[in-house]
Amino acid sequence: MSILIKGGTIITAADTYAADVLIENEKISQIGTDLAREGAQVVDAGGKLLLPGGIDVHTHLSLPFFSTISSDDFYTGHKAAAFGGTTSHIDFATQRKGETLKIALDRWLKKAEGKAVIDHAVHMSITDLRPDILDEIPSMLDAGVTSIKLFMSYVNVYMLDDGDIFKIMEKAAELGMVVLMHAENGYVIDSLIKQNVAAGNLATEFHAKSHPAWAETEATLRAVALAGITGASLYVVHMTCEEVVDQLRYGRERGLPVMGETCPQYLFFTEDELRRPDGAKWVFSPPLRTKKDNDYLWRALAEGHLQSVGTDHCPFLFDGTKPLMYEGEPYQMPGKEMGAGDFSKIPNGTHGIEDRMLMLWSYGVRQGRLSPNRFVEVTATNPAKIFGMYPKKGTIAAGSDADIVIWDPEATKTVSWKTHHSRTDFNIYEGTELVGLPEKVYVRGTLLVDGEEWYGKPGSGRYLHRTPFAPII
Amino acid sequence: MSILIKGGTIITAADTYAADVLIENEKISQIGTDLAREGAQVVDAGGKLLLPGGIDVHTHLSLPFFSTISSDDFYTGHKAAAFGGTTSHIDFATQRKGETLKIALDRWLKKAEGKAVIDHAVHMSITDLRPDILDEIPSMLDAGVTSIKLFMSYVNVYMLDDGDIFKIMEKAAELGMVVLMHAENGYVIDSLIKQNVAAGNLATEFHAKSHPAWAETEATLRAVALAGITGASLYVVHMTCEEVVDQLRYGRERGLPVMGETCPQYLFFTEDELRRPDGAKWVFSPPLRTKKDNDYLWRALAEGHLQSVGTDHCPFLFDGTKPLMYEGEPYQMPGKEMGAGDFSKIPNGTHGIEDRMLMLWSYGVRQGRLSPNRFVEVTATNPAKIFGMYPKKGTIAAGSDADIVIWDPEATKTVSWKTHHSRTDFNIYEGTELVGLPEKVYVRGTLLVDGEEWYGKPGSGRYLHRTPFAPII
Amino acid sequence: MSILIKGGTIITAADTYAADVLIENEKISQIGTDLAREGAQVVDAGGKLLLPGGIDVHTHLSLPFFSTISSDDFYTGHKAAAFGGTTSHIDFATQRKGETLKIALDRWLKKAEGKAVIDHAVHMSITDLRPDILDEIPSMLDAGVTSIKLFMSYVNVYMLDDGDIFKIMEKAAELGMVVLMHAENGYVIDSLIKQNVAAGNLATEFHAKSHPAWAETEATLRAVALAGITGASLYVVHMTCEEVVDQLRYGRERGLPVMGETCPQYLFFTEDELRRPDGAKWVFSPPLRTKKDNDYLWRALAEGHLQSVGTDHCPFLFDGTKPLMYEGEPYQMPGKEMGAGDFSKIPNGTHGIEDRMLMLWSYGVRQGRLSPNRFVEVTATNPAKIFGMYPKKGTIAAGSDADIVIWDPEATKTVSWKTHHSRTDFNIYEGTELVGLPEKVYVRGTLLVDGEEWYGKPGSGRYLHRTPFAPII
Amino acid sequence: MSILIKGGTIITAADTYAADVLIENEKISQIGTDLAREGAQVVDAGGKLLLPGGIDVHTHLSLPFFSTISSDDFYTGHKAAAFGGTTSHIDFATQRKGETLKIALDRWLKKAEGKAVIDHAVHMSITDLRPDILDEIPSMLDAGVTSIKLFMSYVNVYMLDDGDIFKIMEKAAELGMVVLMHAENGYVIDSLIKQNVAAGNLATEFHAKSHPAWAETEATLRAVALAGITGASLYVVHMTCEEVVDQLRYGRERGLPVMGETCPQYLFFTEDELRRPDGAKWVFSPPLRTKKDNDYLWRALAEGHLQSVGTDHCPFLFDGTKPLMYEGEPYQMPGKEMGAGDFSKIPNGTHGIEDRMLMLWSYGVRQGRLSPNRFVEVTATNPAKIFGMYPKKGTIAAGSDADIVIWDPEATKTVSWKTHHSRTDFNIYEGTELVGLPEKVYVRGTLLVDGEEWYGKPGSGRYLHRTPFAPII
């Protein structure tokens, strides 16, 4: 069946214009003025905007962490994503010590099976670099995995030393893969956490004090330098503050192939949140910084110093001692309460996959900090380009997948965990007023969301096989 | 008649995708995969790129200067433009002392009459700010003129003092007009020229020595500051060097509504050219700088510190003592030879309207300095947006004017004044090899250029009525 | 008679060491360990510091301004200076339109006659550049005047256009003179003042709003650029904010011969003071800025981006309707009250000659923002070097004038206009606590101040004949 | 016996003035005009400058490296130092794996015994951080050792991981010690050396290619960040290029307690030297960079971005297969020839202790890049202050050690290994013309050098017991 969306205004990363859109066979087949198509379902988008479906390249669904697991799986997370206007995401398959990348990838693919509603891909996290693993990396391309995640932090868990990182980057450069980096100095953080715990500094705010901005700042330049030496494309995840972005800029101004992302939480909150009684909701790594940094990150997004907005979506229940009802079923899992009395035991992470585009629109576009085009660029187009999914994903153009959000710029809503779609018992933006919301959300021409209605079918989401040698944005 | 361009790859400021384009009634009516239209003329663009027609917002056709006139008029200049892939331009109506803006505008409109082939608009140059002129400015909007050109240089000729500039900027801010600025310190230049002439320093290279980079640097920050105080949108023309762009960046990083342009000549040449026997060909203001600046300007274009590429197209014959044959007719006019023996008498200006996109593609895109998307952005999309012509002009999108260049990325040519289309007896890029050329050029669906063939009809070009309150890019 | 100061710790711009100082014939004849001299008066400086007497290169004693005159003359101002640890200063002889520099200089020299207590020199302010004036400039060197003050502000009063400034700078470069610049864009300020007055925006805070930071910022880069082109040494006076200092740094990093000064008032206050009922006390030009700027200026002083601290000492009575008793005599003169109801009529200026070193020590050195050596450098050594008085003045070294302050780092005082020595009826630092004060102050070996006692003799101060071609600091 | 130096001009870090100097009991007892002292030896310094003896805080005398030892010992190195105007130095005691700091210190102290001529101190290099070593650090203060050297490079030899560096820095901050850092990323360098050797890239120039500037750049910011987090004073040794100094500046502008040094070789040479047949003479780590960096480092020294000039003096014979005659004795030791055919086997290091002040004066002061005062500051005063030896060392002031160089600013010499005093068979500055040389060199009032005459007595040099909590310069 074909669908004809009439009367909307298309927003791409560069253009804004009124036109009709014809969807056929999951794709956008025509964009034109006064289009007509016999038999097509006509959708009226008068007064509305047509945005490409969002792409969140940084999520952790069903992630085991400490002795629990993140509370959104590939169904609940996808539902939340769709209600937030996001139609594709990239999750992380994490290699366990001793295992091969293939095993890690298969384990992850299984998680999506029968659950996925939106389209999805995976980055490969390497945590144990043996010679056979170095040799296994090229096979990832056959599986459509074009990006590798590395950690400079989490000593003895995920962290690799600079020698291993260097070797992987050399390989990535050769294969045209992108390296995602968690850039914090693991040794510093490990020492500070231990010292704080030993000194009885157990309050939640010590989470931030144990992750100083300088530890993230130096690690960022370190990653940038390694990219410069090896020639690998680098994508620094979850950048939190001005000093950190300065390092990315320093590399970019000298022609290095480096890019970076921030996440909504770093645009809205400061470390002061950690001193709230429910501060654990805002515990994630790297931590929140200062008001100056919120302001700077908005500007860095607008001015092009940051290229993308991901979420690091990785929610845990705030109170895992009680079941949470989700689609009529009780869900229970240990959560933030594990760290009551000891900040170092709080599971790191919060939600965002549903909030990302909503918050960026209302407080970015609406408040004049981002143009609608730049909004599209950082939430969809750049992510698609950087990670090898473009132009199939990331724009509204003839031939692209019909991942379209009909966005009502005047619709309003108040954020609440009671009405959101992520499987969490809190929302860090609770009570925030939104202006501008998705009205209808299509993935490959299939309607998933219509206002408050949910039409998503578990298992209908597709795995995205990606292409290497993507451009530096 | 409708035209269906099939098989090409569309390049916009953000997107690159294969699609067919249908042109009806001067506009792009559809973009789609596998388009068909009965009766349409089908044009095969297989293996070719479709670019939006270029927009040159900085030209001086038939400009009286010293005691001569620039050698391209609204026919020859338009022909040159079209062969270079440019389908719209903005010229300057210059107020003479004592007269009103209306008189200046009418004089300019008359120049285009019966000659114009491509679409065109006009900036208003104010050189004599009387109270009645300040009151006359709003009427320019009715005439579709949304931009004002001011000079900080040319003492007693074009230059206004900062008080007048300030008043005009306040008015522009109120009306949503853009102020274009020639930013050089006129007093300094005037003093240096007089001193050099008095000292017998008459060689052509003293043109550059009389226009030091610091004089342009400070004037740029001055203009930026005045924009900051008044809130007027500023567009600094023909920026020549790193220090000057630094000032624009300084303002932009602090949120000021300021933008800037460089011109091709500043990307390719240095003041060393002035020491050539035929150095007068490279005499224009501001002058050429250094190799470091060439390199920096390329980077500034790529990284977004400059927003646009204009040309300051203002050619004079190199040897005005001899007639030049153009379309079989002899053309003669005093030229650069007027300054033989005294640099201060050389008419300032050179050609560029035909060369701009050719040189930027071959040495920008082809050499990896600019992506094809960024090429489109700085040659067409940004100029259209900044000067109130978007989305009618500046992109390839449904509903836009069918100003389309079918670009053959593999076609080659050697630059020569003998084969170019500007009415000049030299080309500063003489002998340069080009790879990537326009194959067909359409203005509102009318074919002007097909390979070496010229189909342009004098008088077919249209005046562009523009809209104020354009965005800051 | 010789004086032997024993047991103190000498502080120079670089060194800190314990040593005795022998003074003979107005000069320091010896510095040594365990010095002895028969017949010398021995002064015990145990536990005290020995600082070179301060040099304030920016004062306006008995300055006619609007229709009044600044309230300190060459006696009261010198007394205030001495109590603040300052033993030399440079005032300004201002040329009136039409007159010669000689006349202006003579008028000024007369003001000091019979009154001066400390040593003093003069900058020449040129406000009317005729050809004969350009020719007269070299004669200033014969009079020991090595520095010229110019204004980019005060349209039709002091302001010169860039052409005149350029010519004077060329002359200064040739003669090795320093150009001091009041860097604000006069046209902008003039327009804003008139607009605000016309709009009825008459409150004191509109003084700051009429002098925006951008007007000072651009003028500073303009002055820097002119210095760069002409090669003249530039000293930008009373720099108020980060953006302004950025311009100085921009020039200095590119090797330009440019230096700058801030004043204590810019380190301690913000434009918020103007909203106080007695805000007129803080009206001077350029105006106060923001807290961020206070902080930045401290850092710029410490890090070497600013080279000197002057005062722009130019007090007016707050309430000129009432006589002020000074040394038992009533003094009356129109003051700040002239601008009650209209900010544009408030005489511009405040006191500082007595406060400069006191405030910088207590809030700079004492709070760790400046080392004691840097304090000496910016209050004495650099001013002496920049303005051609070194090593006669500005340091404690064998052969230098015995201008010595025995400084008690533990002495305390509360600032009050009731106890200060400037002839003003207010003190902008009223109530501020000081720690660290001059105990004894010597000029050329003559004791002027001992605790609260005053020994100064009118007429004992000497004119300082200065030397051109001073170094760039 | 007392010495009276008459007629010279004293240069300190801030002051320049003519005065006589009296030396008694190894110290400067008086500085004055027209000094006289019965029985004193009078030395005529008319027309000469008096500089404080230089302090080289970065030397490696008799250092075992690879399977050889650096060719200057505490006698030959001191003789070379003295002829270069340097009267104090700080060497490095390097802990071997498994041993205590005390053992390392004692081994070093023994090397100086009976040989030392100039005064000397030692930094402690920690290469094996065990818990007992952390506990042993405070005892170093009792031995007068206030500084710790750490390596981020030389994997498995000297390198510590960031965790160990962090712990040592915390301890240093607590004890007021300074941490010196060799800042290069060891993992990167180790990988590149192995890859180059494996690929048969054995030529000398691969030394530079295996030590990329980015590896030094990131390590520098890493060290700066660790200093910022721990509060330790950091002194980055041998900084080679603009990007590296940028990192230091980045930290300093944000108030971090970090300082840095460059060495003469980085001011004069580029990596091109490595392509000479005798390129091995220029092999040291970090390696030489580019011409741009030479220029930048001069500016950084002048503008205060670098605080000190050391040498990393660590010579090896160029041809160790032949004996070198030194004071009539043959000396033989394997040298640079060990790396013929394999850059990775060339002993790293070159001479500098004699050349430092000579080259800096002739090409720094003489060419206008450094003022004489800044020369004194970076070669003597700052080193003394930073490393806890001030004001005993580092200046000419009453009470300081009489370490004085009578410098003849007009004396000339051509550099040659045949006439220099270091025990090496080459000089990297061979053939360079010098203008400005030491005429007489005194350590604590003892004449060591007089023109070409040598009066130094082995064993007369003294160990310098230093003081912690030195200032940040």
Contact A185 D217 (CB under 8 A): no
Burial of B232: CB neighbours in 10 Å, binned 0-12, 13-18, 19+: buried
What would the pLDDT profile of D159-179 be if each residue is shown by its tens digit?
999 999 999 999 999 999 999
Query: Three-class SS of residue D404?
Result: strand
Alpha-carbon distance of D7 to D137, in angstroms, equals 47
DSSP D60-103: -TT-EETTEE-S--TTHHHHHHHHTTEEEEEEEEEPPTT--HHH
Contact D398 C16 (CB under 8 A): no
What confidence tier does A66 reach under pLDDT thresholds 50, 70, 90? confident
Alpha-carbon distance of A225 to D214, in angstroms, equals 5
What number is the average pLDDT over the span A350-372? 98
Alpha-carbon distance of B17 to A349, in angstroms, equals 38
Contact D166 A191 (CB under 8 A): yes
What would the pLDDT profile of A318-331 be if each residue is shown by its tens digit?
999 999 999 999 99
Helix %, strand %, coil % for chain B, to 5? 30, 25, 45
Residue C295's H or E segment, with its range, is: helix C291-303
**What is the reported pLDDT for A214?**
98
What confidence tier does C48 reach under pLDDT thresholds 50, 70, 90? very high
Residue type, A422: S
The token pair that represents C59 in the structure block: 């004062």
Query: Vertex D82, ends D81 and D86: CA angle to 5°?
Result: 65
Residue C29's H or E segment, with its range, is: strand C27-32
Residues of A in contact with D247 (CB under 8 A): 221
Is the CB of residue D120 less than 8 Å from the CB of residue D112? yes
Q: B17 and B134 share a domain?
A: no
**What is the reported pLDDT for D66?**
85
Whether B402 and chain A come into contact, CB under 8 Å, resolves to no
The token pair that represents C168 in the structure block: 């004077």
Is the CB of residue D56 less than 8 Å from the CB of residue D89? yes
Residues of C in contact with D252 (CB under 8 A): 303
Q: D133 and D208 share a domain?
A: yes
The set of residues, in sequence order, having a beta carbon less than 8 Å from that of A183 and lying 6+ positions away, is A152, A153, A216, A219, A220, A222, A223, A236, A237, A244
Q: Measured between CA atoms, how close is B93 to chain A, in angstroms?
A: 30
Contact B397 A252 (CB under 8 A): no
Closest chain B residue by Cα to residue A296: B253
**What is the reported pLDDT for A396?**
98
Which candidate in C170, C222, C290 is best for mutational testing of the B interface (most B CBs within 10 A)? C222
The torsion of the CA quartet D153, D157, D163, D165, rounded to 10 degrees, works out to: -70
| From A31, A391, A471, residue closest to B398, measured CB to CB | A31
For residue A145, being part of any structural domain is answered with yes
Q: A39 and A126 share a domain?
A: no
Contacting subunits of C (3+ beta carbon pairs below 8 A): B, D
Tell me the H-state helices in B254-364: 264-268, 291-303, 355-360
Closest chain D residue by Cα to residue A152: D162
Whether D253 and chain C come into contact, CB under 8 Å, resolves to yes
**What is the reported pLDDT for C1?**
76
What number is the average pLDDT over the span C103-121? 97
Q: Residue B26: left if φ>0, alpha if ψ -120 to 50, beta else—which one?
A: left
According to the 3-state scheme, what is the secondary structure of chain A?
Answer: CCEEEECCEEECCCCEEECEEEEECCEEEEEECCCCCCCCEEEECCCCEEEECEEECCECCCCEECCEECCCCCCHHHHHHHHCCEEEEEEEEECCCCCCHHHHHHHHHHHHCCCCCCEEEEEEECCCCCHHHHHHHHHHHHCCCCEEEEECCCCCCCCCCHHHHHHHHHHHHHHCCEEEEECCCHHHHHHHHHHHHHCCCCCCCHHHHCCCHHHHHHHHHHHHHHHHHHCCEEEECCCCCHHHHHHHHHHHHCCCCEEEEECHHHHHCCHHHHHCCCHHHHCCCCCCCCHHHHHHHHHHHHHCCCCEECCCECCCCCCCCCCEEECCEEECCCCHHHHCCCHHHCCCCECCCCCHHHHHHHHHHCCCCCCHHHHHHHHHHHHHHHCCCCCCCCCCCCCCECCEEEEEEEEEEECCCCCCCCCCCCCCCCCCEEEEEEEEEEECCEEEEECCEECCCCCCCCECCCCCCCCCC
The set of residues, in sequence order, having a beta carbon less than 8 Å from that of A272 and lying 6+ positions away, is none
Q: What percent of chain C has pLDDT over 70?
A: 100
**What is the reported pLDDT for A1?**
76
Q: What percent of chain B has pLDDT over 90?
A: 99
Q: Measured between CA atoms, how close is B33 to chain A, in angstroms?
A: 5
What number is the average pLDDT over the span C5-31? 98
CATH of residue D450: 2.30.40.10
CA-atom Rg of chain C in angstroms: 21
Q: Measured between CA atoms, how close is B217 to chain C, in angstroms?
A: 8
Residues in chain D: 473
Q: C24 and C100 share a domain?
A: no
CB-based touch D/C (3+ pairs, under 8 A): yes
Burial of A423: CB neighbours in 10 Å, binned 0-12, 13-18, 19+: buried
For residue D12, being part of any structural domain is answered with yes
Q: D43 and D105 share a domain?
A: no
Q: Which domain holds residue D277?
A: 54-386
Alpha-carbon distance of A189 to A212, in angstroms, equals 8
What would the pLDDT profile of C412-423 be if each residue is shown by its tens digit?
999 999 999 999
Residue type, B211: H
Q: C43 and C87 share a domain?
A: no
CATH of residue B211: 3.20.20.140
Residue C236 has, within 13 A of its CA and on its CB side, a CA count of 35
CB-based touch D/A (3+ pairs, under 8 A): yes
Residues of A in contact with B52 (CB under 8 A): none
For residue B416, being part of any structural domain is answered with no
Residues of D in contact with C18 (CB under 8 A): 399
Query: Three-class SS of residue D192?
Result: helix
Contact A218 D212 (CB under 8 A): no
Q: A429 and A282 share a domain?
A: no
Q: D369 and D447 share a domain?
A: no
For residue A470, being part of any structural domain is answered with no
Residue A156 has, within 13 A of its CA and on its CB side, a CA count of 4
The token pair that represents B204 in the structure block: 């052509």
Q: Measured between CA atoms, how close is A207 to chain D, in angstroms?
A: 15
Q: B34 and B101 share a domain?
A: no
Q: In what order do the strands lie in the sheet with D86-94?
A: D54-56, D86-94, D119-125, D147-151, D178-182, D233-236, D258-262, D308-309
**What is the reported pLDDT for B436?**
98
Residues of C in contact with B246 (CB under 8 A): 250
Size of interface C-D (CB pairs under 8 A): 100
**CA distances in angstroms from D250 to A246, B84, C249, D305, D394, listed in the order given:** 10, 46, 15, 10, 28
Whether C411 and chain D come into contact, CB under 8 Å, resolves to no
The set of residues, in sequence order, having a beta carbon less than 8 Å from that of B124 and lying 6+ positions away, is B92, B93, B95, B101, B104, B105, B140, B145, B147, B148, B149
Report whether pLDDT(B1) > 90: no
Is the CB of residue A458 less than 8 Å from the CB of residue A118? no
Q: C21 and C133 share a domain?
A: no
Alpha-carbon distance of B225 to A160, in angstroms, equals 49
Whether B34 and chain A come into contact, CB under 8 Å, resolves to yes
What number is the average pLDDT over the span A415-427? 98
For residue D202, being part of any structural domain is answered with yes
The torsion of the CA quartet D261, D267, D271, D277, rounded to 10 degrees, works out to: -120
Contact D215 A229 (CB under 8 A): yes
What would the pLDDT profile of C158-206 be if each residue is shown by its tens digit?
999 999 999 999 999 999 999 999 999 999 999 999 999 999 999 999 9
Is the CB of residue D422 less than 8 Å from the CB of residue D451? no
Q: Which is it for the CA torsion D218, D220, D223, D227, positive or negative?
A: negative
Q: C341 and C445 share a domain?
A: no
CB-based touch D/B (3+ pairs, under 8 A): no
What would the pLDDT profile of A244-286 be if each residue is shown by its tens digit?
999 999 999 999 999 999 999 999 999 999 999 999 999 999 9
The token pair that represents C260 in the structure block: 């700058």
What would the pLDDT profile of D16-51 be if each residue is shown by its tens digit?
999 999 999 999 999 999 999 999 999 999 999 999
Residues of C in contact with D377 (CB under 8 A): 14
For residue D333, being part of any structural domain is answered with yes
| From D15, D35, D304, residue closest to C12, measured CB to CB | D15
- Reported ipTM: the value is 0.96
For residue D462, being part of any structural domain is answered with no
Q: Are strands B453-454 and B446-450 parallel, antiparallel or unpaired?
A: antiparallel
Whether B167 and chain C come into contact, CB under 8 Å, resolves to yes
Provide the β-strand partners of residue C54: C86
Report whether pLDDT(A125) > 80: yes
Query: Three-class SS of residue D398?
Result: coil
* Number of Cβ atoms within 10 Å of the Cβ of B39: 7
Contact B14 A373 (CB under 8 A): yes
Alpha-carbon distance of B263 to B293, in angstroms, equals 12
What confidence tier does B146 reach under pLDDT thresholds 50, 70, 90? very high
**What is the reported pLDDT for A46?**
97
Which candidate in D15, D37, D369 is best for mutational testing of the C interface (most C CBs within 10 A)? D15
Nearest to C122 by CA among C473, C466, C444, C467: C466
**What is the reported pLDDT for A228?**
98
Residues of B in contact with C228 (CB under 8 A): 212, 214
Q: Which of B 213-242 lie inside 8 A of C, CB atoms?
A: 214-215, 217-218, 221-222, 224-226, 228-229
Is the CB of residue C410 less than 8 Å from the CB of residue C441? no
Q: A142 and A273 share a domain?
A: yes
For residue A473, being part of any structural domain is answered with no
What would the pLDDT profile of B209-241 be if each residue is shown by its tens digit?
999 999 999 999 999 999 999 999 999 999 999
Query: Vertex C103, ends C100 and C108: CA angle to 5°?
Result: 130
pLDDT in tens, chain D (473 residues): 799 999 999 999 999 999 999 999 999 999 999 999 999 999 999 999 999 999 999 999 999 988 899 999 999 999 999 999 999 999 999 999 999 999 999 999 999 999 999 999 999 999 999 999 999 999 999 999 999 999 999 999 999 999 999 999 999 999 999 999 999 999 999 999 999 999 999 999 999 999 999 999 999 999 999 999 999 999 999 999 999 999 999 999 999 999 999 999 999 999 999 999 999 999 999 999 999 999 999 999 999 999 999 999 999 999 999 999 999 999 999 999 999 999 999 999 999 999 999 999 999 999 999 999 999 999 999 999 999 999 999 999 999 999 999 999 999 999 999 999 999 999 999 999 999 999 999 999 999 999 999 999 999 999 999 999 999 99
What would the pLDDT profile of A181-220 be if each residue is shown by its tens digit?
999 999 999 999 999 999 999 999 999 999 999 999 999 9
Closest chain A residue by Cα to residue D217: A225
Alpha-carbon distance of C43 to C21, in angstroms, equals 10
> In chain C, how many domains are there?
2
Contact A30 B29 (CB under 8 A): no
What number is the average pLDDT over the span A161-184? 98
